[in-house]
C-alpha cells in the first residue's frame, strides 16, 4: 500500500491544510527561522497535517492534531548544508494544529550594509523565502502498489496525468535515491518514521530545490521530534 500526494491545484496561501508553498503558520510571536550556517532566513517549503500518532493524515475529517512545517536555506545553494538532517540549514517543526497565524516575513537587511555583489532587492528576497505558488497536495491511496515508484507509474497510467504531478508520498517506506539515511530521534534515539517524501514539483519556477532529487521528513510521535533531509 502506498499513499501518493498529487498536484491538487491552487489553495489559499495560509490554509491549515496539507500544501506545498504558501506562508508558514506558527503560534503568534514566532520569529521567522534562520539558517545556522549563513544566518539568513530559511525558505518555507511545505506543511503537512499530522494525526495524534505523528503520521501524515491521508484523508477524512477529525484527525487533525498537529502540523509539520518544513524549511530549508536557499541563500547559498550548495554551500549551506540543507540536505543534512539536523544541520541547522533546514528545519522540521511540529506545531499544534490550532491557534496558528502566519509568521511575519523578516525585515530585509539594510542595503547599506549589504555585500557589494548583493543585487537582490526586497522582492527578490521574498522569492528566496517563499515558493512561487501554493499547491494543495491531494492524498491518493494505491492499495495494490508495493512502493513509491510503482505507485507513481500506476497512478500516471490510470489517470493519464504526467508523472511529475506526483508530489511525493505520505508515510510508508522511503524510496531512497542513495543509501538509507533514516534518522534517529534526538530524544529517545529510536529510528524515526517517514511522514512525507517530496519531489521538487512539476514547475521549475515554483519548485523546491532538492538538487533534482527527493526530500524526506521523519517524525517521532512520543517525543514530538521531526527531521528533514534530501538526496539527489
Which position among 23, 26, 220, 229 is part of the footprint of Zn ion (CB under 5 A)? 220
Which position among 162, 188, 191, 232 is part of the footprint of Zn ion (CB under 5 A)? 188
Please tell me whether residue 185 binds Zn ion under the rule CB under 5 A.
Answer: yes
CA–CA gap between residue 129 and residue 123 (Å, rounded): 10
Contacts 24+ apart (CB under 8 A), 121-130: 128/41, 128/43, 128/74, 128/75, 129/32, 129/41, 129/42, 129/43, 129/44, 129/105, 130/21, 130/22, 130/23, 130/43, 130/44
Compose the 39-78 pattern: x for residues touching Zn ion by CB under 5 A, - for all others: ----------------------------------x-x---
Please tell me whether residue 38 binds Zn ion under the rule CB under 5 A.
Answer: yes
> Could you tell me if 97 and 49 are in contact, meaning their C-beta atoms sit under 8 angstroms apart?
yes
- Closer CB to Zn ion, 49 or 80, in the complex: 80
Please tell me whether residue 35 binds Zn ion under the rule CB under 5 A.
Answer: yes
Q: Which residues pair with 203 in a beta bridge?
A: none
- Closer CB to Zn ion, 75 or 140, in the complex: 75
- Closer CB to Zn ion, 35 or 166, in the complex: 35
Amino acid at each position: 500500500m502506498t499513499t501518493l500526494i498529487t498536484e491538487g491545484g491552487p489553495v489559499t496561501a495560509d490554509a491549515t491544510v496539507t500544501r506545498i508553498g504558501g506562508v508558514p503558520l506558527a503560534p503568534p510571536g514566532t520569529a521567522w527561522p534562520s539558517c545556522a550556517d549563513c544566518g539568513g532566513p530559511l525558505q518555507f517549503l511545505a506543511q503537512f497535517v499530522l494525526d495524534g500518532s505523528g503520521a501524515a493524515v491521508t484523508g477524512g475529517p477529525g484527525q487533525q492534531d498537529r502540523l509539520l512545517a518544513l524549511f530549508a536555506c536557499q541563500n547559498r545553494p550548495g554551500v549551506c548544508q540543507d540536505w543534512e538532517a539536523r544541520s541547522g540549514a533546514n528545519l522540521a517543526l511540529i506545531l499544534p494544529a490550532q491557534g496558528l497565524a502566519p509568521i511575519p516575513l523578516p525585515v530585509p537587511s539594510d542595503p547599506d550594509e549589504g555585500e557589494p555583489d548583493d543585487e537582490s532587492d526586497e522582492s527578490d528576497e521574498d522569492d528566496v523565502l517563499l515558493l512561487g505558488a501554493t499547491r494543495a497536495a491531494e492524498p491518493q491511496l494505491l492499495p495494490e502498489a508495493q512502493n513509491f515508484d510503482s505507485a507513481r507509474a500506476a497512478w500516471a497510467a490510470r489517470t493519464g496525468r504526467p508523472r511529475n504531478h506526483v508530489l511525493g508520498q505520505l508515510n510508508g517506506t522511503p524510496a531512497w535515491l542513495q543509501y538509507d539515511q533514516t534518522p534517529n530521534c534526538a530524544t529517545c534515539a529510536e529510528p524515526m518514521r517517514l511522514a512525507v517524501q517530496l519531489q521538487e514539483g512539476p514547475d521549475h519556477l515554483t519548485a523546491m530545490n532538492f538538487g533534482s532529487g527527493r526530500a524526506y521528513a521523519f517524525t517521532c510521535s512520543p517525543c514530538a521530534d521531526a527531521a528533514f533531509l534530501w538526496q539527489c
